[in-house]
Amino acid sequence: MAKILIVEDHADIAKLIRMTLEVEDHELHHAGHGAEGWHQACQLRPDLVLLDVMMPGELDGLQVCALIKGEPSLQHCRVILLTARGQQRDREEGRKAGADDYMVKPFSPLELIDRIDRLLAARA
């Protein structure tokens, strides 16, 4: 069972992601903003983080991604950025932050499951 942290400030999108992933055998957790997501990542040590890029507060998704990727105790953790920002420049910023994958909203729930499965299988 994979441990997945969803970091998303929009409750309806977080609920859609949770409902999508509940059909799989995952342990799901949610954080509503970047700082909370960073804190939970350090506490939970998830296998995968689904991370919104644009969030209110002191840390956005790119900053949280870079923190996760720079933390030795989280080196096993995979990050998928979920965002409405789909320009090439945005994707490059995601890669620079260390993201393992990048999905533009709106996204297909089936595609999300497929990408999660691929990342988790590659990690194993």
Predicted confidence (pLDDT) per residue in 70-110, tens digit: 999 999 999 999 998 889 999 999 999 999 999 999 999 99
Summarize pLDDT for 16-58 with one digit per residue, the tens: 999 999 988 899 999 999 999 999 999 999 999 999 999 989 9
pTM of this prediction? Answer: 0.96
| CATH code for the structural domain at 2-123 | 3.40.50.2300
Alpha-carbon span 80 to 113, nearest angstrom: 11
Question: Domain-by-domain residue ranges, the chain?
Answer: 2-123
Using an 8 Å Cβ cutoff, are 79 and 65 in contact? yes
